[in-house]
Amino acid sequence: MTRRSFLLASSSAALASCVRPAPDRGSFDILDVSLSDLSHGLREHHYTSAGLARWYLDRIDAIDRRGPKLNSVIELNPDALKLADELDRELKVKGPRSPLHGVPILLKDNIDTHDAMTTTAGSLALEGWIPPDDAFIAARLRAAGALLFGKTNLSEWANFRSSRSSSGWSGRGGQTLNPHALDRSPSGSSSGSGAAVAASLCAAAIGTETDGSIVSPAGSCGIVGVKPTLGLLSRSGIIPISHSQDTAGPMTRSVRDAAILLSALAGVDTADAATTAPGREAPNDYAAFLDSNGLRGARLGIARKFFERNELINRFLDTQVEILRKCGAEIVDPADLPSYGKYADPEFEVLLYEFKAGLNSYLSRLPAKYPARSIEQLIRFNEKNKEREMPWFGQEILIKAQEKGPLSEKKYIEERAACLKLTRGEGIDAVIAANKLDAIIAITGGPAWMIDHVNGDYDTGSCSTPPAIAGYPHITVPAGLVEGLPIGLSFFGPAWSEPTLFRLAYSYESETHALRRPGLKVGQGSACP
């Protein structure tokens, strides 16, 4: 028996001896317990980290490996139970390091960890790669006492390989499914993180985003996702696409949980200049800004153009606008970006340039035994192993990136300047200033599309691009179901406005309580009430 199969063989009966309901909680049902509840229960010794780890490992075995086979967890930490026991002993002797002490967390498989787990971005070319150091954010989580017990599957190379890829598919991990409808896409590229959180395979997970890769799977899987301001979280030790857009962020089942997790992740890293830039604002505790009456008196702009031709989504947005009004918000409708639709082409050019520079830098650190120590070598590896790496779609984005020159080229400099102008001065900043807004509101994305390995993803719409290019914060919260499929409501605004967005998002969540358990079955409308 392998260490991995031993972990998965842990019995639910063992959990029962380690997890004890609080006297006033009634029967224990972990599916309804938030990260903050788990934190409280651990501190009060109602249950143990080892017991929680065993429960999650059993559930991963039942749902992710067997059962519906969500395929969201790409690798488990074989030392998880040993680490959990150590955290339990420390808690008894010294008390908690933070609210995350002993809480089981999953990380997207493009985030470096120096432990018994590998980091591959879903690619067979990186199989076996154990980085020499933790990513800065992984080190922050360990320091906070979090239990890093697994890695999640993702769209390979964070969905920057092919123009007709299937979100949630990687050569190493296969296809992740949407737990609300197993024939639907989980979206991506943080597909496994979104699916795992929605299916209660962990207390919370970490995703990464370049453009939509946190908020889109969060919306499609019916959970909370936070893409922070660029520079709030370090990118050191994260396999890159774009130094001007990449960031990690929390994926959770509640706004409070996301605030707790973001507080632990944020920190100044001398190896990442974005975290030391002038004007950086990072409160110590984002949960301090949560206010169930936070919408009262807020001035919100409704961005309509993202879904202006989708009558179904517009009707749904109308309903959400009325909820915001009911909660005391003042509404400006519409409040669309003047530059809407003009930023996609320059963004793609910028990403190609930055992907080549960033990924080549990351891959160059690998020992000589690895077959892909540059994008050029990666392209050759994929061709040589195309039956496993390219059974459904190719690598045309990798090829386009390889053709780009250095970041000193005039083309790159001009396109990056255009991106900032269109999404800041003629985009989010312009709308916020002209209408004196606290935030901009939009539907996060359309309902999850059918998984299609032949044609690839089907675009059902998204509002992620302007805040992604601008480097501004974006929070999505479950808003309900459309034809039985989850839809998120987005709150985004200017740089460092996370405290305002958390206040608004928490107030909206407190009113709607729209989180739904996934049905874990095939077909539209499979979410449980």
| Residues known to be catalytic | 108, 189, 213
> Where would I find the beta strands (DSSP E) of 115-257?
147-152, 169-170, 174-175, 204-209, 224-227, 247-252
Beta-bridge mates of residue 412: none
Per-residue tokens: 44: 């009060």
DSSP state of 428: I
- Residue 309 CA to residue 318 CA, distance in Å, equals 14
Q: Among 129, 149, 196, which Cα is nearest to 3's?
A: 149
Confirm if 85 and 129 have CB atoms less than 8 A apart: no
Beta-bridge mates of residue 250: 206
Beta-bridge mates of residue 440: 301, 492
Q: Among 442, 441, 506, which Cα is nearest to 299's?
A: 441
- Residue 288 CA to residue 294 CA, distance in Å, equals 12
Q: Among 201, 200, 233, which Cα is nearest to 214's?
A: 233
Q: Among 520, 435, 440, 514, which Cα is nearest to 472's?
A: 440
154 three-class SS:
coil
31 three-class SS:
helix
In this structure, the strands spanning 174-175 and 169-170 are antiparallel
In this structure, the strands spanning 73-76 and 485-492 are unpaired
CA geometry: angle at 357 spanning 351 and 361, to 5°?
A: 135
Confirm if 231 and 93 have CB atoms less than 8 A apart: no
Q: Among 200, 219, 235, 160, which Cα is nearest to 72's?
A: 200
